[in-house]
Amino acid sequence: MDECLVKMDGDCKDVLIGLINIELNDNLTVIKANSIYYNLVGYTQDEFKDDFNSSLLKITYYKDKDKLVHKLLYNSKEESYINIEFRVVKKNGDLA
């Protein structure tokens, strides 16, 4: 998966986006992610795999977990496109 640069019109500047492909299982396993995603969360791909078993759910901010799981596991069956915003706890403890 290549890094993507999304150009927006108007007052918005260029926005770098972290992209992930996940398996819809109990851990929300990250199958593939671009380097922007790993930069955002502060982990290398190997650290994320070794420390969290590639589980998106394990770094998701606790207040956002239920929303994330519900959107992915239930709404994904009804919608062809899902826009989800959620926070993750970065390696340094900050939220992203």
61 closest CA partner among 83, 35, 90, 37: 90
How many residues does this entry show for the chain? Answer: 96
Q: Quick one: CA torsion of 17, 20, 92, 49, rounded to 10 degrees?
A: -150
- Identify whether the C-beta of residue 15 lies closer than 8 Å to the C-beta of residue 25: no
Q: What is the pTM of this model?
A: 0.77
Which residues of the chain register pLDDT less than 70?
Answer: 1-15, 76-81
pLDDT at 14: 64
87 closest CA partner among 32, 48, 40: 40
Q: For 24-33, how does the pLDDT look when each residue is reduced to its tens digit (9 = 90+)? A: 898 999 999 9
